[in-house]
Amino acid sequence: MSLWIAVIPPKQAFEAIVGAVSQYSEYLDTRISENTLHMPLMEISAIPTEKPLRQAFHQTLRILSVGKEGDAMSLRVFLQTTPSLMTLLESLQKHLDKQNISATYPQDFTPNIHLGTFATIPAFGIINTPLALTFSVQKLHIIQTEPYEVLGTIDVIS
């Protein structure tokens, strides 16, 4: 079991994502359930209990792409790494440090939402598909991955 702080996009974002990848869906060997889709921000050692995180944050979904994951190919939505996202991560790190909770995210952090995997490299090409979609993050979710469960939230307020 791993604990993560993640962004769960709103329903209209899911609908746009599902529409953008519909042509590839039938070729996926494994598909991530729509009610478990999330963008992981950082792995944590314990559940935070402190006050809300005071950080305004707006993020735009920009690119749909495919990236390798192990020997299989994975279908992912990649989000633009923006200064506001990096500021959010830094604020979140400080917020967790005050509570003596260890938190990690990779130096080469690439925000993404994993949609599913192909067992073999697809014979067709997958074209990067721009998504003109913007949504505001007002809550960060604390999730455990196996089994998937949302354990709590951290309010993001300005």
Q: How many domains does the chain have?
A: 1
User: How far is it, in rounded angstroms, from Cα 74 to Cα 52?
Assistant: 34
pLDDT band with cut points at 50, 70 and 90 for residue 150: very high
pLDDT band with cut points at 50, 70 and 90 for residue 134: confident
- Model's pTM, two decimal places? 0.83
Instruction: Give residue 79's domain range.
Output: 3-157
Which tens digits make up the pLDDT trace of 77-130? Answer: 888 788 888 888 888 898 899 999 998 887 788 888 888 888 777 776 676 777
**CATH number, residue 95:** 3.90.1140.10
User: How far is it, in rounded angstroms, from Cα 12 to Cα 141?
Assistant: 18
Decide: 53 and 155 in contact? Cβ < 8 Å.
yes
User: How far is it, in rounded angstroms, from Cα 63 to Cα 113?
Assistant: 11
Beta pairing partners, 79: 61
Which tens digits make up the pLDDT trace of 32-45? Answer: 888 888 999 999 99
3-state secondary structure of 49: coil
